[in-house]
Chains A and B, each alone.
Chain A
Amino acid sequence: MNAPTYNFAYLDEQTKRMIRRAILKAIAIPGYQVPFASREMPMPYGWGTGGVQVTAAILGPDDRLKVIDQGSDDTTNAISIRKFFQKTAGVAVTTSTVNATVIQTRHRIHEAQLGAHQVLVYQVPIPEPLRFLEPRETETRRMHALAEYGLIHVKLYEDIARFGHIATAYAYPVKVNARYVMDPSPTPKFDNPKMDNCEALQLFGAGREKRIYAIPPYTTVQSLDFEDYPFEPYKHKACCALCNAADSYLDEIVTDDKGSRMFVCSDTDYCETRQAQGHRGSENASPFAESRHA
């Protein structure tokens, strides 16, 4: 038995070509889900195989890769994916958002604004925004072909009737370039506005469902809403307990069994950068910083 050897960035060249062609068509048809022959990857389906395949197809020796899950570089799945590319592509990795050229993410868009030199790769579990309204691929495909999106508006309106609000907190559907309704992946709707007219290319990979889609730079991305019920991004009404940021998406941390809780930035790089700049939150008073200021 020969020990298996693997190509640069794991995928063989034929697979990369197939994915690359799908990416180009995805960019040419913003928000449209291009079918591709997703491969079995050495991590389970549902754990980022779509994002990993897209990243593997675009990554080169000059890139600096950042991987986040839930906004953090240190979550186990982010570490696992980052290590995979270090091992198979020998690529430079970073946790710094501004220094990264390729950022693969699950469930968040980081806080720092994306630049033109960057590509954001999303891991997508269910790429079809209409799937939970209509389980049949043949049907949803027809709806996209005819831009027949009444169903999703009805669903959002039923929410309003029942709850007084649109009851979708994450994976909030958007319309791309005024044509395709698209699933932004399960990011909180707080992140939706960041996709609109973004300087960077955004690529979406769904491995198990075998779809790739894209938002080119400077493309309108509109969260679906109604004139009398406009889209509103949500975040906890609090500041980060570590860096005092008031504008970032916050994780709620339960600190004891008596209902005490605190809030900290979900984007760890954003939070640490702010702390390094001297920002201090309620749980993070720094005597050194204070004495220096004194």
Chain B
Amino acid sequence: MMTTIAEMPAGFADKVIAAQSTFRTVMDAMARPGSVQLIRAVSGVPAPMMRGAAAIALTLFDQDTPVWLDEKLATSGDVIKWIKFHTSAPVIADAAGSSFAVIADPTSLPEFDRFALGSPEYPDRSTTIVIQVASLSEGPAYRLSGPGIDGVTVLRAAIGVPDLADRLAENACRFPRGIDLLLVSGESIVALPRTTQFVAQEG
């Protein structure tokens, strides 16, 4: 069922302050991989997007950032309409041209090399993938290390991406090229930039 613009979920009430607060949360998450950060800004949310993913979209997407949506989001007409209306970002079919990708079904996340990986000269021209996951507080334990982490940190999360540790290891081999992940669960977010070593904890 399609909604009209009048029925569409709202964006941020105070655009400037909400975007700033959300950005700082994402920046802290990216600077401290594995740490769980809370998004405080409130907006309308088109199902099946999560609150955190909606806030990230309102904060970082615009006409200069092509966005790729997984099937679950793309087939919900409201999400595309909401993104276009509130952010003006073009929603594109080829993930390789995307600045951002949003994934509502982690089990069917395409291989990373389907996204933009950047070039050796411009490794920043790569996709940031926002993945909606079941939990960022409970689930299997992962040991994380790398820039932004004081030694080792443990993340418990139900992420749902098959072979995630292997894929991230492969991603690390491409450095400085590579994708960066933002995991979202409700209003919680965790960043896994390409520099983070990510291994399943034994036992």
Contacts and interface: CB of A to CB of B under 8 A. Distances in A.
A60 interface: yes
B20 A141 contact: no
Interface stretch (B43-51, B77-85, B143-151): B143-151
A34 interface: yes
Contacts of B180: 24-25, 28
Nearest to A197: B150
A60 B60 contact: no
Interface in A39-69: 57-61
Interface stretch (B1-9, B21-29, B102-110, B160-168): B21-29
B24 A27 contact: no
Given A13-B19, A18-B64, A27-B193, A219 B148 contact: yes
A35 B23 CA distance: 19
A60 B122 CA distance: 30
A32 B146 CA distance: 16
Interface string A13-42: 110111011111111111010110000000
Given A61-B17, A218-B148, A219-B147, A28 B121 contact: no
A201 B27 CA distance: 9
B176 A58 contact: no
Contacts of A144: 121
Interface residues of A, number: 41
Interface string B20-58: 110110111011100000000000000000000000000
Chain B residues touching A, majority SS: loop
A177 interface: yes
B124 interface: yes
B188 interface: no
A32 B125 CA distance: 12
Q: For A27, A57, A142, A146, which residue has the most chain B Cβ atoms within 10 angstroms?
A: A27
Interface in B117-132: 119-124, 126, 128
Contacts of B15: 13
A60 B16 CA distance: 9
Interface string B155-177: 00000000000000000000110
A177 B27 contact: no
A179 interface: yes
B40 to A, nearest CB: 11
B62 interface: yes
Contacts of B175: 179
Given A17-B59, A201-B31, A218-B147, A32 B24 contact: no
Contact of B62 (A17, A23, A24): A17
Contacts of B28: 201
A154 interface: no
B135 interface: no
Contacts of A25: 124, 126, 180
Contacts of B151: 218
Contacts of A16: 19-20, 23
B185 interface: no
A3 interface: no
B27 A21 contact: no
A146 B120 contact: yes
B99 interface: yes
A142 B119 CA distance: 11
8 contacts: A8-B16, A13-B15, A16-B19, A21-B65, A27-B31, A29-B176, A29-B193, A216-B30
Q: Which 9 A-B pairs have CB atoms at the shortest separation, nearest pair first?
A: A145-B120, A28-B193, A25-B124, A216-B148, A219-B147, A216-B147, A201-B31, A60-B20, A34-B124
